Amino acid sequence: MGINLRRDNIIYPYFVVGGSNKKEKILSFPGRHRLSVDLLIKDIKELKALGINRVLLFGVPEAKDGKGSAAYKNNNIVSLAVREIKRRFPQLIVFTDVCLCAYTDHGHCGILKGRAIDNNETIKILAKIALSHAEAGADYVAPSAMAKGQVGAIKRELDRNGFRKTKIMGYSAKFASNFYGPFRNAAGSAPKFGDRKDYQLDYSDSLAALAGIGADIDEGADIVMVKPALAYLDIIKEAKLKFNRPIAAYNVSGEYAIVKYGAKQGLWNEDEMVKEITTSIKRAGADYIITYHAKDAARWLK
Ligand code: PBG
């Protein structure tokens, strides 16, 4: 009895690069690769055979500039991947990350004016990125830049262009966290100067987190997210009790790496550890868990 993780609770993240037949190892991110679209399709075939039907795509572009234009140009890497996935697996539920950090030469999540984020300009560009993903067939666009009003701006842009069925998963409570290290190697998205504390949340501030979740719901988010997951179970629980909306929790790269490296050192049994962690996240109130453990977990899930 009690809470059990199910396959339809799981969202599996992928990092996508251009070209073909590419499978690039990622520094300090055990077992994770950047895949070109052809190999992505192969991998998704395996994923589907394991019974998992939700993926989250991150694009890793070949070129970066000040405006992150590779994120929204025609045939940007995420749009290419979504089109191919939908052609091959129309039933797969595809989420796309909508952010600029992997596409800007400075590595910040928005457009800069001087050394600060220009919020208005940023949400305009995020809306453009989201529209390009929607046109390619994404089921959910997921803005993660932590720009104010990003969900509302995307919603209006989608509505204006007739994409009323495309849903939005907001990275609503995203903390300025130490747990993102391996991810930044994967996406090549570490900031070149400063940090993200101006726009990501202070981990000592639960009120700001709940306010962010409330704002995203008001702006029209279909799913709200708490990120990271494990050190923030209290936020997941409070959000569930307060808003009772579909909640996703992002079991991020650093949380994953701890489990993997510990298992390698013989400190614990990896499967048992993943079971305990994912069960706890679900028990706290998460309806969806975004996790790099998905394929491993699918082997022991009932
Ligand atoms: C930023 C973004 C981050 C992650 C996903 N999108 C974090 C960051 O660099 O601030 C982290 C995911 C992970 O660690 O697994 N757009």
Tell how far the Cα of 148 is from the centroid of ligand 1, in angstroms.
17
Ligand 1, residue 182: give the atom nearest the CA.
14
Ligand 1, residue 100: give the atom nearest the CA.
16
Tell how far the Cα of 201 is from the centroid of ligand 1, in angstroms.
13
Q: In terms of CATH, what superfamily is 7-300?
A: Aldolase class I (3.20.20.70)
Catalytic residues: 174, 227
Distance separating alpha carbons of residues 93 and 55, to the nearest angstrom: 7
Banded model confidence at residue 1, pLDDT cuts 50, 70, 90: low
pLDDT at position 232 over 70:
yes
Tell how far the Cα of 1 is from the centroid of ligand 1, in angstroms.
34
Any ligand 1 atom below 6 A from CB of 260 = no
Any ligand 1 atom below 6 A from CB of 83 = no
Q: Whose CA is nearest to atom 14 of ligand 1?
A: 180
Which of 266, 180, 166, 275 lies closest to 221 in space, CA to CA? 166
Give tens-digit pLDDT for 159-218: 999 999 999 999 999 999 999 999 988 888 899 999 999 899 999 999 999 999 999 999
Which of 189, 70, 211, 80 lies closest to 128 in space, CA to CA? 70
Q: Taking the model in full, what pTM does it have? A: 0.97
Indicate the pairing of strand 10-17 with strand 23-25: unpaired
Give tens-digit pLDDT for 268-297: 999 999 999 999 999 999 999 999 999 999
Tell how far the Cα of 183 is from the centroid of ligand 1, in angstroms.
6
Q: Which of 101, 169, 178 to mutate to test ligand 1, by most ligand atoms within 8 A of the CB atom?
A: 101
Distance separating alpha carbons of residues 101 and 50, to the nearest angstrom: 32
